[in-house]
Amino acid sequence: MPLLVEGRRVRLPQSAGDLVRAHPPLEERARLLRGQSVQQVGPQGLLYVQQRELAVTSPKDGSISILGSDDATTCHIVVLRHTGNGATCLTHCDGTDTKAEVPLIMNSIKSFSDHAQCGRLEVHLVGGFNDDRQLSQKLTHQLLSEFDRQEDDIHLVTLCVTELNDREENENHFPIIYGIAVNIKTAEIYRASFQDRGPEEQLRAARALAGGPMISIYDAETEQIRIGPYSWTPFPHVDFWLQQDDKQILEVCQKVESAGLRRHGGQYFGKVVTGSKSELLLT
């Protein structure tokens, strides 16, 4: 069934800007979200969702009242909610495998036994900007297309992505919104940043760095976080890289990206031929 806005079928493909112009309520909601001040969210009742993770729960949860994520640049944060039972999923998508991730998001909501009661599925997409490599544009298109392919009607309520989330400063582009939170009890979605990104921030980040797929990290029935086993390939020359300053690492990473190297499993494949020791270690 189709992706809908105000009861009307979304016409795809089209840019996020064209889509909101065709549906003025979307444009107004994006404007209101951008205009909010950023709220600092503390650890009490929070489950922070890292890149390539999803978490789903409902208002019945006795431990979690807020789901949130930030540090999104080209990434998009997705909130899918069932208005009938209040089941809410938040995930941080980076475009690794959107075709597989959207059904995972859908199934996480359907896993709640009373999902068939009165109500509808509503989706909110936030993140990205006008980046030079157009990674944001690609991810926006992927997410809209995959939600449009699902069997259930999905109502697009918030679209604040890519050009709608872009600001320009000194001819450079940046996102306006880097993070959001959703209150499970009230369904409020708002701009947010987080001092605490746990629990087990380093362990979970290592799984994503190792190239693992998106996973569901929370069992709402037992109210426990569960991270399954994953493999880790040792990072070559880690002692050398730990001795370098941030400027040196940034310069090398920029050269890697401009050379078009392929990233897989947390490592880069290709060759940078400029002669310095640090650059040759990336080959």
Residue pLDDT, tens place only, 77-94: 999 999 999 999 999 999
pTM, rounded to two decimals: 0.82
Confidence of residue 208 (pLDDT cuts 50, 70, 90): confident
If pLDDT is split at 50, 70 and 90, which confidence band does 256 have?
A: low
d(CA 128, CA 111): 29
Strands 39-41 and 189-194: parallel
Instruction: Report the topology of domain 3-232.
Output: 60s Ribosomal Protein L30; Chain: A; (3.30.1330)
Token pair belonging to 188: 């409020």
> CATH 3.30.1330.200: which residues of the chain?
3-232
Q: How high is the pLDDT of residue 14? A: 81
Give the span between the Cα atoms of 12 and 23, in whole angstroms.
13
**28-43 tens-digit pLDDT:** 999 999 999 999 999 9
Separation of alpha carbons 16 and 22, rounded Å = 10
Is residue 265 pLDDT above 60, yes or no?
Answer: no
